[in-house]
Homo-oligomer: A and B are copies of this chain.
Amino acid sequence: MFQNWKLIKDSPAIKESKSPFYLHIRDYLAEQISNKTLRSSDKLPSERILSQEFSVTRITIRESLQQLEVEGLLYRANRKGWFVTPPRIIYKPQDNQIFEDYVSAAGRLPKTETLSIALQESTRWTEEKLGVTAGKPIYSIKRKRSIDHRPVLIEEIYINPEFCPGLTQQNLNGSLTKIYKQHYGFSITSFALSMCPTALTKEIAEALEVTTGISGIAISSKRFDEAGNLIEFAREYWLHDSLEIQFQSAPLK
């Protein structure tokens, strides 16, 4: 499979191209992905093998791999190796769609796993975000969501228990929106989002089984019911390579 990977560093074509050799390796690997020699989720040979193949040091091959990581073509599972990134999922904020639904609609397999749930005292920070008096209890939920068995986001949700007492009794490995509707009789009808490229912290990266410090997208949201009550404040941390955000203005009048 990885035979005949030859890219000659001292060949005239490369010497006169002026771009550094690690970018030639990058192009070479990108081509393998593009022509499907390397397919979605394939594991690459180890860094040491690759550095032998291309006759460079590990530092150089790592620059090529990191470049492809930034581009979203490759990812690494912490200490497990390098893999070809699966296609991005399309996220349409204005549709206010449920994760399970839009992932399934794309022909992929969604999964939500609850990492922790607690009824804890509101801090000054959650007080500010959620509008609950400091010291009062709020629900704090942490979940991990995967697509085709690859973890793609961690979310932290803070919920005002006034609107959904006994929430901890529910099965939270699905849509909160549905639980609100079925068990508490209200709907989420409006929301505000903020999306920001950031780096994934150690804690988030470990939960997603990726290397600390790679880039991600942080999405903060506030969600309201019909009456305008602020029900929850949430933060999602997505792998940067898993997401494409689409937006359309209101249709023509």
Contact = CB atoms under 8 A, between A and B. Distances in A.
Nearest to A193: B247
This protein's copies in its complex: 2
Interface string A201-221: 010000000001111010000
Contact of A252 (B199, B217, B228): B228
A217 to B, nearest CB: 6
Contact of A72 (B197, B245, B249): B197
Interface in A224-240: 224, 226, 228, 240
Contacts of A197: 72, 197, 215, 217, 240-241, 243
Contact of A245 (B191, B245, B252): B245
Given A197-B240, A202-B19, A248 B191 contact: yes
A128 interface: no
Interface residues of A, number: 44
A31 interface: no
B193 A215 contact: no
Nearest to A241: B197
**Majority secondary structure of chain A interface residues (helix, strand, loop or mixed):** mixed
A247 B67 contact: no
Nearest to A240: B197
Contact of A189 (B19, B72, B202, B252): B252
Interface of A: 19, 23, 59, 67, 70-72, 88, 93-94, 96, 189-199, 202, 212-215, 217, 224, 226, 228, 240-241, 243-253
Q: What are the 4 A-B residue pairs with the smallest beta carbon separation, nearest first?
A: A197-B240, A71-B199, A195-B245, A70-B199
